[in-house]
Structure 1
């Protein structure tokens, strides 16, 4: 769907180690491919549906990037710049795959604009299913200013507001349905960033798998509206990620 997240990508310093970690923790399988920057790993659910990718870059901190589907990468890159954002990688083609640009919002959170080459949209796993990528969360310096930027860019609208006490509010957003949330995290490290939630089959066992394979649990399990539980974590290379599912 246009103006929604359509792909997720891990840029890391050690793809072999990171791939083994996420396969164990999330339950993905992986397939080697190639991209404009060299070897490219594709993560798939147990049903064989591609949901994300991974590439190795030694000169930048490990991080997950979210791709937002747009109908014109160049036009949207211009809108990002006009609204005070930055262009980190100018629009370019991936032969046979599509066109992309790496950009950042005015507060510095990085994301990717993408238009796929195929006419038919790729398969999407069922929401909340193991291995699916089901929630996108912005840790902003100022969520209200961030929302103004993204709503102007993508037409995102506000959904539910969740009070968080002294931390303020958690504003969910999306199009016809909510697919993410944002809040003001006044000490985000290493700065404002997007955090992506992956579905798992049993939150408690996933917590143990994170620990057993060298990752760290940063928060949770914490119950969220709807009865699911969420956990924030860090992989062994330093990339932040999160997962959600039911207890047990």
Structure 2
């Protein structure tokens, strides 16, 4: 994927086993723990049947980060990117340093306070990387990262920041009828890989960024999530073209979304 693309998500938690139990039960995720150069461990998150992981978390979690999920954007040069993003109004949460895979990463927050990361691939990819399948081929698997959402109480400011930061463009999705919603087209994609939601009139939390996962049946998944201790923040809601989605927090308070595609797949 090109620089500027959302390629990963990370979870910060003080209770990794609780996270594994919840998402393993709800979305059938699998987990693989790998050592890192600094002596910590990093747990990779994969959807069932997926050829590649889609996210992960540190053990122990970065100090002072609390419970939450964040999105990671690919970068060609993390150190230069951090300096440029600071000039655009971003704040540094964790300075540039080694990533779990041997690349480099940094964590920042946008001018609204929403946390995100930038990640630079390692110079020497892991052995066999040339033979890895393309994770973007075919329809998204159940439980996989199929979309992301950024909510904002200042739509114009957020659109400008991410356009200037990463070259994102936007398409107004009129199928969402409850608020202005824009499909976010990141570099290298064609139809959009995430959304920017105008939450200026919403109740409760207005500013956030969260991963959005595929499920065959959103109402059924919500019912199961609630039995597992989750809370529904918004939805379920169905677009005019038949896509259903909802926003929840897990038992640790970590925000995520679920969505199911229209019966005949995405429209457009």
**Would you say the 8 A contact 2:199–2:206 is kept in 1?**
no
Distance in 1 (CA, whole Å) between partners of 2:107 and 2:203 is: 21
Structure 1 residues 6-15 or 32-41, which shifts more? 32-41
TM-score in terms of structure 1 length: 0.88
**Would you say the 8 A contact 1:140–1:192 is kept in 2?**
yes
- Note the alpha carbon deviations across 1:152-177, whole angstroms, 9 max, x for none: 11111111343766x65112221332
Distance in 1 (CA, whole Å) between partners of 2:234 and 2:165 is: 31
Q: CA RMSD in A?
A: 2.6
Q: 1:203 to 1:247 in 2, by over 3 A?
A: farther
Distance in 1 (CA, whole Å) between partners of 2:239 and 2:31 is: 30
The equivalent of 1:67 in structure 2 is: 72
Distance in 2 (CA, whole Å) between partners of 1:52 and 1:122 is: 17
The equivalent of 2:174 in structure 1 is: 162
Where in structure 2 are the equivalents of 1:102-181 lying within 5 Å?
102-117=107-122, 118=125, 123-124=134-135, 126-162=138-174, 168-175=179-186, 176-181=190-195
Residue correspondences, number: 247
How many Å apart are 1:51 and its aligned residue? Answer: 1.0
Distance in 2 (CA, whole Å) between partners of 1:151 and 1:218 is: 28
User: Unaligned stretches of 5+ in structure 2?
Assistant: 264-268
Q: 1:203 to 1:60 in 2, by over 3 A?
A: same
- Note the alpha carbon deviations across 1:51-106, whole angstroms, 9 max, x for none: 11123437443111111011111111111100111111111123643110101111
Q: 1:127 to 1:72 in 2, by over 3 A?
A: farther
**Would you say the 8 A contact 1:141–1:188 is kept in 2?**
no
Is 1:209 the counterpart of 2:224? The answer is: yes
**Would you say the 8 A contact 1:108–1:191 is kept in 2?**
no
Distance in 2 (CA, whole Å) between partners of 1:28 and 1:95 is: 20
Q: 1:157 to 1:95 in 2, by over 3 A?
A: closer
User: Unaligned stretches of 5+ in structure 1?
Assistant: none
Distance in 1 (CA, whole Å) between partners of 2:238 and 2:117 is: 30
Q: 1:181 to 1:247 in 2, by over 3 A?
A: closer
Secondary structure at the aligned position of 2:83 is classed as: helix
Structure 1 residues 121-130 or 83-92, which shifts more? 121-130
Is 1:231 the counterpart of 2:246? The answer is: yes
Q: 1:177 to 1:75 in 2, by over 3 A?
A: farther
The equivalent of 2:25 in structure 1 is: 24
How many Å apart are 1:127 and its aligned residue? Answer: 4.3
Secondary structure at the aligned position of 1:162 is classed as: coil
Secondary structure at the aligned position of 1:106 is classed as: coil
**Out of 93, 100, 109, which is 2:98 matched to?**
93
TM-score in terms of structure 2 length: 0.82
Distance in 2 (CA, whole Å) between partners of 1:69 and 1:164 is: 28
Is 1:53 the counterpart of 2:56? The answer is: yes
**Would you say the 8 A contact 2:175–2:239 is kept in 1?**
no
